[in-house]
Amino acid sequence: MQLSIDQSTLLCRLLADASRQRILLLLEAEALSVAEITQITRLSQGRVSTHLSRLRAAGLVTDERVNNVRHFRANLGDPEDPATGLWQTLRARIDDQQAEFDREKAREAVRRRHAGTSWAETVAGRMERHYSPGRSWEANARALLGLVSLGDVLDIGSGDGVVPELLIERTRSMTCADISPTLLRAARSRLQNDPRARFLQCDMNALPLAPASFDQILLMHVLTYTLTPERVIANAARLLRPGGTLLIATLDKHEYGIAEETFDHVNQGMSPATLQGELERNELAVDWCDIACQEGRPPYFKVVVARACKRAGH
Ligand SMILES: C[S@@+](CC[C@H](N)C(=O)[O-])C[C@H]1O[C@@H](n2cnc3c(N)ncnc32)[C@H](O)[C@@H]1O
């Protein structure tokens, strides 16, 4: 089969990828499931699936179902096929230690599979990175909300209402406050049938609300949109009722321009120590204030989560 220049360029691009070459070498030795390939290569499950579907579309990989699990295998049968021919040419020259390690791990994975290791056992310690039917972060969050009971809630910088929609069932009232009419419109359409929802277009730096009127206040991923986060925190403290709770999620202090250039942030986050200082300055009792998680891809942003309560009598 002859190729046009465009087709041959696409083919070169397909194989000009270290992860795809690694996967092909791996699947020469053993037929493996996505979970096994993910476990062996430590690539994310999404990336493994994308690589496999591209290799499969080029005819370099086939799959078959074994006990309801799809197993993938390299398909190098037809040297007349352009993709196979090109890969075989490259393949004959590859001698790579990583590929050797991968193959050893693949043999181990197959041994475990045949020894009756369950799916859950194969992902022990990394289950949050793997798919299993129905077990999504959203499903877990919605289920765990059953443990939560809230009063009058104010979500400052509520965006298009994702968080209010999640919580509203558990509240007495939910006030969505945002500077953007577009986002408030989207929030309104998400929550339109719920009588507990209220909407307020305002600037978080000057909230037109009465002191001590909320039981819970949320500042979720909004403090990076103000030049005066300390003023926003002071205002939130003022709006809380005694015994009320302020919950904050924000970026840890960082130095990456992408947050400002692409996401319109106006400051570069706050360290847990600085945030804790601000909360205490406003006479809030800090339950916890720390790095809660770190993203798994560059530039590896860290998220600070804080929970603080307004003491009775303040
Ligand atoms: C990253 S989004 C977070 C939305 C929401 N809190 C969430 O976690 O899904 C930031 C939100 O802050 C809002 N925002 C930015 N500057 C603001 C300001 N000065 N006052 C009120 N809201 C503001 C934006 O319109 C946007 O909806």
Atom of ligand 1 at shortest range from CA of 160:
27
Nearest CA to ligand 1 atom 27: 159
* Tokens 């059953």 found at: 146
Ligand 1: does its nearest atom lie under 6 Å from the Cβ of 224? no
Ligand 1: does its nearest atom lie under 6 Å from the Cβ of 186? no
Ligand 1: does its nearest atom lie under 6 Å from the Cβ of 183? yes
Residue-averaged pLDDT of the chain:
92
**CATH classification (class only), 5-129:** mainly alpha
pTM higher than the cut 0.85:
no
Indicate left, alpha or beta for 192 from its phi (over 0: left) and psi (-120 to 50: alpha). alpha
pLDDT band with cut points at 50, 70 and 90 for residue 314:
low
Ligand 1: does its nearest atom lie under 6 Å from the Cβ of 163? yes
Ligand 1: does its nearest atom lie under 6 Å from the Cβ of 159? yes
pLDDT score, position 180: 98
**Residue 234: is its pLDDT beyond 70?**
yes
Atom of ligand 1 at shortest range from CA of 219:
6
Q: How far is the CA of 158 from the centre of ligand 1 (A)?
A: 6
User: In sequence order, what DSSP letters do the residues of the chain get, joined into one string?
Assistant: ----HHHHHHHHHHHS-HHHHHHHHHHHH--B-HHHHHHHH---HHHHHHHHHHHHHTTSEEEEEETTEEEEEE----TTSHHHHHHHHHHTT---HHHHHHHHHHHHHHHHHHTT--HHHHTTT-GGGS--TT--HHHHHHHHGGG----EEEEET-TTSHHHHHHGGG-SEEEEEES-HHHHHHHHHHHTT-TTEEEEE--TTS----TT-EEEEEEES-GGG-S-HHHHHHHHHHHEEEEEEEEEEEEPS---THHHHHH--SS----HHHHHHHHHHTTEEEEEEEEEEE-SSTT--EEEEEEEEEPTT-
**Residue 250: is its pLDDT beyond 90?**
yes
Tens of pLDDT, residues 50-81: 999 999 999 999 998 877 889 999 998 777 88
Ligand 1: does its nearest atom lie under 6 Å from the Cβ of 221? yes
Nearest CA to ligand 1 atom 16: 225
pLDDT score, position 298: 77
Atom of ligand 1 at shortest range from CA of 249:
8
The CATH 3.40.50.150 portion of the chain extends over 137-310
Superfamily of domain 137-310: Vaccinia Virus protein VP39 (3.40.50.150)
Contact 280, 288 (CB under 8 A): no
Cα–Cα dist 208/213, whole Å = 12
Cα–Cα dist 46/130, whole Å = 9
pLDDT score, position 68: 81
The CATH 1.10.10.10 portion of the chain extends over 5-129
Task: Say which residue, 252 or 92, is predicted with more confidence.
Answer: 252
Residue of 117, 136, 140, 94 lying closest to 39 (CA atoms): 117
pLDDT band with cut points at 50, 70 and 90 for residue 2:
confident
Q: Probe ligand 1: pick from 225, 226, 258, max atoms within 8 Å of CB?
A: 225
Nearest CA to ligand 1 atom 19: 203
* CB atoms inside a 10 Å sphere around CB 293: 11
